[in-house]
Amino acid sequence: MLPDDLLAALRNAQHVCVLTGAGISAESGVPTFREAQSGLWEHYDPLDLATPEAFLRNPELVWRWYRWRRELVANAEPNAGHIALARLAGLVPKLTLVTQNVDGLHQRAGSSGVIEFHGNLFEDRCFVEGCIVEPGVEDSVPTCPGCGAQVRPGVIWFGEAIPERALHESFSAAAQCDVFLSIGTSSLVYPAAGLAEIAVKAGATVVEINPNPTGLAALFDHAISAEAGTAMPALLEATWP
């Protein structure tokens, strides 16, 4: 049974801000970065696969790793949690969806305007200019048609900063929302984990949806111990029966 005050807060919300993490993608069978380091890749250090220095040193290796990950993710489908979040956007006046995931499953479920903290696994970007490059011939290391520089996967690597625009838009949304949902995230990695703290200070109703309580559980007004694929459809059904 979901608390009446939570349902009322969601029903009356003018702006809902949502942060999702690896947990919601795991329900679709998407392995985490560490879990994907299996088989041929288990003996590699992450710093040899996911840093600018690694790319400059051995771009062919980095591209083989990311193409393999793309194949894994391409076989996954959005789950009921992703779909419920896309539906929620049509039930409230405003929804801001921030994700730490790079798999694009939110977009495939129908969500738009997703703020991607860590980039997108299926984007290609010029290593020098940072612009998005349309996929062309599947070379071992593609090059930018504009400047000729090597093209890299469009994810944020270790040692790189989260894009300023993503930070600004997500922090602003957390400070202005009525309800904040933290879904499938450990609440350990900053700055993403700081969004809940901003929402608390702004007086929002703050909710954690995670099978296991996180280190920030004491901050939240409500903690729902369940996976997103179970909790989100139930929350929507109870709020808008």
Active site residue ranges: 118
CB-based contacts of 241: which residues, under 8 Å, 6+ apart? none
| CA terminus-to-terminus distance, the chain | 14
Residue 3 burial (CB count, 10 A):
13
| Amino acid identity for residue 63 in this structure | W
CA 226, distance to chain mean position in Å, is 18
* Angle subtended by helix axes 80-88 and 228-239, to nearest 10: 30
Count H helices and E strands in the chain, helices first. 10, 8
Q: How far apart are CA 151 and CA 140, in angstroms?
A: 10
Q: Given strand 95-99, what is the order of strands in its sheet?
A: 115-116, 95-99, 16-20, 179-183, 205-209, 222-224
Determine the residue type at 237.
E
